[in-house]
Amino acid sequence: MDKSSDVMNQAVSAAVPGQRGFDYLIVGAGFAGSVLAERLAREQGQRVLVVEKRPHIGGNAYDRYDDAGVLIHPYGPHIFHTNSADIFEYLSRFTEWRPYQHRVLGSVDGQLLPIPINLDTVNKLYGLNLTSFQVEEFFESVAEKKTEIKTSEDVVVNKVGRELYNKFFRGYTRKQWGMDPSELDASVTARVPTRTNRDDRYFADTFQAMPLHGYTRMFEKMLDHPNIKVMLNTDYREVADLLPWKHMIYTGPIDSFFNFKHGKLPYRSLRFQHVTVPQEQFQPVGTVNYPNDYGYTRISEFKHITGQKHPSTSVVYEYPCAEGDPYYPVPRPENAALYRLYEAEADAMENVTFVGRLATYKYYNMDQVVGQALAAFKRLQQRHAAAETGTPALQSARAAAEGR
Ligand code: FAD
Ligand code: UDP
């Protein structure tokens, strides 16, 4: 039997008993695909096939225990944070949480200093004892004020001046993105605030917590529904023409969907080096950034993030690279223009909906992808409702006939 018929037989036998085919073919079992599968199956009673080319669910948020028994994030550290009570409440249906506030130190001039830059960063770096008011004055005195903030360089030098920019942002950004901050949209470095107080948390969101039993367990609960079938190790192209489905949700890279007809969209990749060391703790906080030395940008230690107790500890080094799995869309004007060509094609497709970080080419965090998926679900729900009750023209014709 050839591979495609083998795959089709698997899918057909996975279909809901007594019914042929699926209402939805969902490409990708990350946040975008899993939230939509869950909503469509549970709320709308739709029959859903999730096709995932990797050997696991969860997308880049997938976690697992390594050989030493430490819970790790194979695709880099994932810390959940959101300001949306709705998104937090939605995910809370599938997991309990462990409160966790992420802290990051930057290795600069031989010291480990708080990132985002705050009062302590400045005092420790320069051996000063400034107050919050004084550090504000200090920032004012060194800032290179810009009339227009366009690039990732503008954002930082406008707030903290060139010296701090060079020490904390320039090298990190050049390593991470393979280009100078002046070539990237302001939104990239604007993710990291500047503070005049001593708050050393990486995020300031209202809700900051980790799924108590990990992301994968949360995804398993989301996808645990009789109307949802999951097919792993399968590219959707292997099954899309062989199986009956009515609507596709696509969460992979959008340029790949259209066979790169307008050219390749740049995505930045990473190589992850996972290491387990036979000691309780490797570094003082969850992540240490290395803006100016080494080929890697940061080292993250999972036990800080997950709260796991274990005599050994596992860390991940992130080495940015151009080739490899697509992890980051690259926010800059020419890429946004290229994306708009694909977006126009996507909008014209009646039976495919594009959702997620790669499919909408947006540098989104997990909560933003959940929000985007829930919004897409609402639109699909309205379509279902309209299909059931008929078009507005039909409705008014009916109402007229009934004398309403
Ligand atoms: P993905 O998780 O990429 O899922 C898409 C899935 O589609 C993938 O599993 C892929 O294998 C599958 N797929 C693609 N093409 C095909 C195909 N042809 N056939 C079948 N399947 C296919 N966010 C935070 O909120 N906090 C963090 O701390 C954080 N840290 C991050 C660290 C790193 C290193 C990275 C890269 C991202 C981080 N993120 C973080 C962002 C987070 O990973 C994303 O927002 C989220 O996982 C995106 O979900 P998604 O479903 O859109 O995409
Ligand atoms: N950044 C930096 N120095 C740092 C931390 C961040 O220059 O110490 C810049 C860098 O360009 C990075 C961006 O800010 O890509 C966003 O940082 P974030 O930690 O949000 O990146 P992510 O976790 O998404 O990789």
Kindly report, residue by residue over 361-390, the tens digit of the pLDDT. 999 999 999 999 999 999 999 988 998 886
Q: Separation of 379 CA from ligand 2 center, angstroms?
A: 33
User: If you take atom 7 of ligand 2, which residue's CA is the nearest one?
Assistant: 169
One-letter amino acid at 153 equals E
The pLDDT > 90 percentage for the chain reads: 89
Give the global pTM. Answer: 0.94
Least confident span in 14-18, 50-54, 88-92, 246-250: 14-18
- Mean pLDDT score, 66-90: 98
* pLDDT per position as a tens digit, 167-185: 999 999 999 999 999 999 9
Least confident span in 189-198, 355-364, 395-404: 395-404
| Residue 240, SS3 per DSSP | coil
**Between the ranges 13-17, 129-133, 240-244, where is the mean pLDDT highest?**
129-133
Q: Tell me whether strands 267-277 and 328-329 are parallel, antiparallel or unpaired.
A: antiparallel
CA nearest neighbour of 362 among 286, 226, 270, 265? 265
Query: Which stretch of DSSP H or E encloses residue 320?
Result: strand 313-321
Pocket test for ligand 2, best of 155, 169, 194, 319 (most atoms within 8 A of CB): 169
> Quick check: CB of 176 below 6 Å from ligand 2?
yes
Least confident span in 18-22, 99-103, 106-110, 215-219: 18-22
What does each C-alpha distance from 152 to 108, 110, 186, 339, 385 come to in angstroms? 20, 25, 4, 20, 44
What does each C-alpha distance from 26 to 30, 252, 256, 371, 374 come to in angstroms? 10, 10, 16, 17, 15
Share the mean pLDDT of the chain: 94
Evaluate if residue 399 carries a pLDDT over 80.
Answer: no
Ligand with an atom nearest the CA of residue 208: 1
Evaluate if residue 221 carries a pLDDT over 50.
Answer: yes
Q: Is the peptide bond before 74 cis (omega within 30 degrees of 0)?
A: no
Evaluate if residue 14 carries a pLDDT over 90.
Answer: no
- Residue 398, pLDDT score: 52
> Quick check: CB of 286 below 6 Å from ligand 1?
no
Q: Separation of 97 CA from ligand 1 center, angstroms?
A: 21
- Residue 4, pLDDT score: 46
